[in-house]
Amino acid sequence: MKFIILIGPPGAGKGTQAKLLEESMRLPQVSTGDLFRYNLKNATELGQLAQTYMDKGELVPDSVTVAMVKDRLARPDAANGAILDGFPRTTVQADALDALLADMGGHIAVVPHIVVDREELVQRLLKRAQIEGRVDDSEDTIRTRMRVYEEQTKPLLDYYAQHGLVVEVDGQQSVAAVQRDLCRVIEQAA
């Protein structure tokens, strides 16, 4: 049971890349952002709870997020592992994931860090706001999400680097070139 954790700031292309990897790796993409958006669209209790945080660009509480991931990873399509996109995002979530993987007999194969500079990220997110109309792609919310990433998610890179799991991938190339580099990194880790 093998897990790949994609880490990168909002707009780095984690979702796009995870979807492409899903096909080549035969592992499902597990995106907490997509799961929350699905719940929001279907007006579930979880969706309503998540919305207040998502609208502001803040993180949904760890306990809620971890419970949702635990449910998702118990599904049969994740029996061989998953590509995690947008999770974990805090040290509490990383610890919870470690405990979950220990329980399930899974391991983290590699943590690709998709690196994109800040100016490019803001441009990409503003463009995505026009195309997809995501409510959390407004300028204010983008700023909050960047700050949240710097403060809460970036420290995870140190945590995983201590375990020798982090490999940097240049996210400012074409989608195809980033995918090629990611596949290489994952193959080398396997």
Residue with tokens 């609208």: 55
Dist CA 175 CA 135 (whole Å): 24
Count of residues binding ligand AMP (CB under 6 A)? Answer: 17
Contacts of 31 (CB under 8 A, 6+ apart): 14, 15, 18, 85, 86, 87
Tell me the CA distances in angstroms from 121 to 20, 69, 113, 125, 189, one per residue in order.
Answer: 20, 27, 15, 6, 28
Question: What's the closest the beta carbon of residue 156 comes to ligand AMP, in angstroms?
Answer: 11
Question: Could you say whether residue 57 binds ligand AMP (CB under 6 A)?
Answer: yes
Which of the following is catalytic: 19, 56, 70, 128?
Answer: 128
Question: What's the closest the beta carbon of residue 130 comes to ligand AMP, in angstroms?
Answer: 17
Residues in region 151-190 near ligand AMP by CB under 6 A: none
Q: Give Dmax (Cα) for the chain.
A: 43
Residues in region 74-93 near ligand AMP by CB under 6 A: 86-87, 89, 93
Catalytic residues: 14, 89, 128, 134, 145
> Where on the chain is the footprint of ligand AMP (CB under 6 A)?
10, 32-33, 36, 53-54, 57-60, 65, 86-87, 89, 93, 136, 145
